Amino acid sequence: MTNKFYVPGDQRAARVNDLFDTIATRYDLINDLQSFGLHRHWKRRLVRLAAGTDASSTGSGSWPATNPARALDLCCGTGDVAFALAQCGMSVIGLDFSEPMLAVAGQKLKALSAKIEVSGGPPRAVRFLRGDAQHIPFPEASFDLVTISYGLRNLADWEAGLREMRRVLRPGGRVLVLDFGKPDNPLWRAIYFGYLRRFVPLLGRWFCGDADTHGYILESLKGYAAQKGVAAKMRELDFEDVGIVNLMGGIMSINSGRRPA
């Protein structure tokens, strides 16, 4: 069966853009429902790793003791990660190509009074920008940190996306990628894929009037290299300290790497 939002080739980005334009106003609600609220926990983990406040390492390399100052959150969507990074004291740009997703992020920003209260430090701004993660509109070495949560899998060419991230990182800067993963355990993988195949599309049907909106997740995951493939590509692209944090047996994962100093 084909999914109208998953079309490999030239039309991939346009269909993904249609998808997120369609679901923008329901995105946060469905995220909470399909993950039982756990996406908040996984994003917090990403942010702790970004800020260097996570006690565990990613399997190789150590995390910096100080906060990165300039962060880029790619495929920022409705802004969860961008806001959380700012709460750690970073100056954050959230970039996304879907105007309706950015509109929701903008409303949330307004509700947060445009500035994020930072405990123990000055408030830093969050700015949202419309743009393509495959062609990041910033010069080389502009950021200390690049994050992308549930975004890499959606890029028409995720390998080129990683190359772009490396380009805009300053030497020594870090990239963190949170996304759906592929568990090694075959039974766990079958249960989890079954959940994505049978239950998650129902949320699309009930809340967006179209099962394909959320059937897309499994289709895109099947076509994605996931945690191991992303780590291998990072090494090939000459990232250092490449690591993987598997969450809940690998159904979600955080890939990390550092541009050599």
Ligand X SMILES: C[S@@+](CC[C@H](N)C(=O)[O-])C[C@H]1O[C@@H](n2cnc3c(N)ncnc32)[C@H](O)[C@@H]1O
Question: Would you give the binding string for ligand X spanning residues 18-47, x where CB under 6 A is met?
Answer: --x---------------------------
CB of 76 to ligand X, least distance (A): 5
Question: Phi/psi at 123 (nearest 5 deg)?
Answer: -65, 140
Q: For ligand X, which is the closer residue by CB, 80 or 241?
A: 80
- Binding residues for ligand X, rule CB under 6 A, total 20
Min dist. Cβ of residue 119 to ligand X (A): 23
What is the secondary structure of 78-106 as a DSSP string? Answer: TSHHHHHHHHTT-EEEEEES-HHHHHHHH
Those residues whose C-beta lies under 8 Å from the C-beta of residue 42, and which sit 6 or more positions away, are: 35, 178, 247, 252, 254
Q: Is 13 in the site for ligand X (CB under 6 A)?
A: yes
The encoded tokens of residue 192 equal 């989890």
Cβ atoms of 77 and 101 within 8 Å: the answer is yes
Report the greatest alpha carbon distance in the chain: 53
- Of the ranges 149-157, 188-196, 223-231, 235-243, which one interacts with ligand X (CB under 6 A)? 149-157
Q: Which residue has the tokens 């996406």?
A: 39
Based on CB atoms, which residue is closest to ligand X, 39 or 174? Answer: 39
Tell me how far CA of residue 199 lies from CA of 93, 182, 192, in angstroms: 34, 18, 10
- 58-117 residues in contact with ligand X (CB under 6 A) are 75-77, 80-81, 96-98, 101
For ligand X, the closer CB: 48 or 61:
48
- Is residue 181 within the footprint of ligand X (CB under 6 A)? no
By C-beta, is 73 or 241 nearer to ligand X? Answer: 73
CA distance 97 to 77: 9
Interface positions, 111-130, toward ligand X (CB under 6 A): none
* 147 in Cβ contact with 179 (< 8 Å): no
Q: Which of 34, 149, 220, 253 binds ligand X (CB under 6 A)?
A: 149
Which CA distances in Å does 256 have to 164, 198, 245? 15, 31, 8
219 binding ligand X? (CB under 6 A): no
- Taking the least distance from each CB to ligand X, the nearer of 75 and 146 is 75
Binding site for ligand X (CB under 6 A): 13, 16, 20, 75-77, 80-81, 96-98, 101, 132-134, 149-151, 154-155
